[in-house]
Structure 1
C-alpha cells in the first residue's frame, strides 16, 4: 500500500489546469501558472506515474449517449468480494462500498436499453451471496464529476485555460464515427496521449487526429476527465445522498444542488428518491453540516437517506487500489 504523498500548491495548480483543459500544451499550462513548461510536465508525470492523478475519456455524457442506472446491492457481508468480481465489467462504471442502507452502490452504463436490462438481470441479478438488488434508472444527468474542480487557480487563470475549449452547438448530435471511436479507445487510457501517438496507433494522419479530437470536444460528444485520488484532493470523505424533490421543482432545484462546491454528481432518477447526488467533503462531520445547509436553503428537498463510501474500488472506468490510486483502466461502453 502506498504512503500518502502530499500535494503542494504547484501540484494542485497543475491538476486544476488540466481539469479545465486536459489537453492543454505544457507551454500553455506553464504560461498560465507562471512556471517553466518542463516543471509543469514533470509535476504531472509524477502524479500520473504514482496513480494519484489521471485523465480518462468517454462518450459525453454518461447516461445521455446510452442508458444508465444506479444499483444498490445488499451483499450479506461480501462487499469486497463482490466488488472485486465486478471491477473488470465494462458496464460497471463506478463501484462504491458504502455504509448505511446498502453495501454497494454501482453506476451501470450500457450501449442501449436492452443491453442494460440484460446486465442488470443476468449479471447482477444472479450474483451469489446477494440478498437484494435495487435499481434506479437515470433519467437526466444534472452534474457529473468531470465538472468538479480544485480551487487552486484564480478566475483569470481559469479563463485563459478555457479560451480554447469552448463548445460548439450541434442541432443534431452525431454518433461517433469509426475513426472517432478508434481515437476514443486510446484516450480512455491516457487522455493526454500525444497526437503523434494517437496517429500511430489508429493509422490516421496527425492532422486528422487533431481535427477529430477538437471536433468531438467542441461538439461535446467526448469528455476528457481529469481525476485525482480523493485523499490527495483535500476532500477525502465521499458520500451519496438520496433526495426527494417535488416533481414540479426538480428541474429548478437539481441545478442548484449541482452548483454546491462539494457536489460531484447530481442525477435525476425514476424512483421514490428522484434525485441522487454524490459529494466530496473535508470532514465526516461535514455530512451533517451539508444536510443542514440543504434543508435550510432548499426547503422543498427531503433527504431520504445517505451513505458514506468506505472504499471506492472503481471510478468511471478506472480500477482503484485501497488508497484510491489508479490501478488500471476498464473501457466503458461508448
Structure 2
C-alpha cells in the first residue's frame, strides 16, 4: 500500500507520537520504537518535515523571554473576517490566530510582557474597521497543551546560548555538528549547553503538526464557567485524549479548553461529557474553521 493510503497514514501517526516522546531521537531509535524498517522511517520522517506537515522546534518558556502575560482574545467582526485575521497574524505578539464559527469570528492567543501591553494591543484590534467587539481572558495556568511549560529554573545564558536557541527555534533536530559550526564551538560544548537549557526548562523541544495532514480532525474551543476553582476540573481533563488544550483563566470564563474529534458526533459527545461535570455551570463553544497562524517562537 502506498504511503498515501491507510498504512501510510497510520505509520505517520505512530512516527509523530514517537517523535513527540523524544523530538531529537535518531531514525534508528524511532524505527525501534514503532517497529518499522529504518529506511522506511527515515524516508517518511524526511517527507513529513520537508512538506511542512510537522516541525520540530524549540519553544522558549514565555516568562524567560519576558512574556509574563498570555491572553485569549475573541473578536467579532462585520463583513469578511480574512483581512482582520491577516493583520493580527502579522503581529509578533500573536502566537495563534484562527477563524472560528460561533459568537465571535476570530480568536487569537497573544503573549506580551505586561497587562498594559494587552490593553495597547486590544486598542489596535478595535481600530480595525471590521472589528465590532473583543472579549479577553487571561491565562493563569496551562494544564495541557502542545507547548505548556512547567516552572523553569532561572539561569544566566550568554550570546552563544541565545544563538543556539534561535537555531533550535528554526530546526529542533539540527545535528550537533551543524549547530557547532554556526556558533563556532565544539559539538560536545554545544551538546552540554543545549542540554543544560532544556533541563532547566528554559526551552522545550516540541513537534508542531499541520492541522488536517493526519486525517480529518475537527477542533472546537470551549469556555467554561465553573462553580469552583478550575484546578480540579482541568487536572481531570488533561488526561483525556480528546482534550488538546486546557487552561485556567480570569475574565469571561474560568477555563478554556480545546476539544478534537473525527466528526461532529465525537465533538458532541465531548461536550456532553463536559456538561456532566458537577463543577461546570455553563459553557460556550466555537468551532475552529481555519488556522491562520500558529507560531510559538519568541524573540531572544
TM-score (norm 2): 0.88
Q: CA deviation at 1:226?
A: 0.7
Distance in 2 (alpha carbons) for counterparts of 1:110 and 1:178: 23
2:9–2:214 CA contact under 8 A, matched in 1: no
* Structure 1 stretches of at least 4 aligned residues deviating more than 6 Å after TM superposition: 167-170
Q: CA deviation at 1:259?
A: 1.5
Q: CA deviation at 1:67?
A: 1.3
Quote the residue 1:26 is aligned against.
Answer: 27
The 3-state SS of whatever aligns with 2:213 is helix
Structure 1 gap segments, 5+ residues each: 148-166, 318-330
The 3-state SS of whatever aligns with 2:298 is coil
Quote the residue 1:207 is aligned against.
Answer: 188
1:146–1:226 CA contact under 8 A, matched in 2: no
Give the paired residue count: 295
Alignment of 1:118-267 (within 5 A): 118-121=120-123, 123-146=124-147, 172-174=153-155, 177-234=158-215, 236-247=217-228, 249-267=229-247
Alignment of 1:1-334 (within 5 A): 7-60=8-61, 66-121=68-123, 123-146=124-147, 172-174=153-155, 177-234=158-215, 236-247=217-228, 249-296=229-276, 298-317=277-296, 331-333=297-299
1:263–1:279 CA contact under 8 A, matched in 2: yes
Cα 1:202–1:89 shift into 2, 3 Å:
farther
The 3-state SS of whatever aligns with 1:332 is coil
Distance in 1 (alpha carbons) for counterparts of 2:4 and 2:82: 25
Structure 2 gap segments, 5+ residues each: none
Cα 1:235–1:265 shift into 2, 3 Å:
farther
Distance in 1 (alpha carbons) for counterparts of 2:281 and 2:150: 37
1:196–1:206 CA contact under 8 A, matched in 2: yes
Cα RMSD of the aligned pairs, angstroms, is 2.7
Distance in 1 (alpha carbons) for counterparts of 2:114 and 2:193: 24
TM-score (norm 1): 0.79
1:92–1:107 CA contact under 8 A, matched in 2: yes
Q: CA deviation at 1:220?
A: 2.1
